[in-house]
Amino acid sequence: SGIEQLHQFLDGSKTAKASFTQKVISKTGRAGQNASGTMSFLRPGKFRWEYTKPYSQLIVADGSKLWSYDKELNQVVIKPMSQALGATPAALLAGSNDFQKNFTLKEDGASDGLEWVEATPRNNEAGFERVRIGLKANLPQVMEVRDNFGQTTVLLFSSFERNPTLPADAFIFTPPKGADVVGE
């Protein structure tokens, strides 16, 4: 079942790596641009989310701070992790695996080869309404996060690797010379 696959994934992957494409569909049904890139995480709380197309932006959570660097805007923003993560697929994937504590899970059927789970946050400060996760071979293939504004962020994963060895500095970020570094 979807829930079993989710638990297998959460319990069975200390680290993971994947490519993704992200599409945001606004409340008025307008699809925004596709963005794509790669992500990796080390549970709990460390992840690297890198957009390479159409813009280049790197977001690194090192366990205590969240660094986001936008190359074109040449700015690095540092934020405490608690405040910045909120309702993001990254936080769900890389969070501590007591998923059950923060979400009520519901089977949401099977379609196009995936078994789906619907996760609804237990408290309403999570900043989103619900997330649907489509899994196959105990790995998430699709995540749909529907926020409180009726906007849906759809993430399609590919070449998902479970427990790859990751570079030692995967979750360390050093601001490039000349970039504006702002934030706490």
> Applying CB under 8 A, which residues contact other proteins?
22, 24, 26, 28, 30, 32-33, 35, 49, 54-57, 59, 68, 70, 72-75, 77, 84, 86-90, 124-125, 127-128, 145, 147-149, 151, 153, 180, 182-183
Q: In angstroms, what is the minimal distance from the CB of 86 to other proteins?
A: 6
Q: Are 49 and 37 in contact (CB under 8 A)?
A: yes
137 Ramachandran zone, left/alpha/beta (phi>0; psi -120 to 50): left
Q: Which is nearer to other proteins, 5 or 173 (CB)?
A: 173
Q: Which is nearer to other proteins, 6 or 84 (CB)?
A: 84
Q: Of 150, 154, 141, nearest to 111 (Cα)?
A: 141
Q: In angstroms, what is the minimal distance from the CB of 1 to other proteins?
A: 28
Encoding tokens for residue 76? 């690095």
Q: Which is nearer to other proteins, 137 or 149 (CB)?
A: 149
Encoding tokens for residue 2? 């979807």
Q: Are 24 and 30 in contact (CB under 8 A)?
A: no
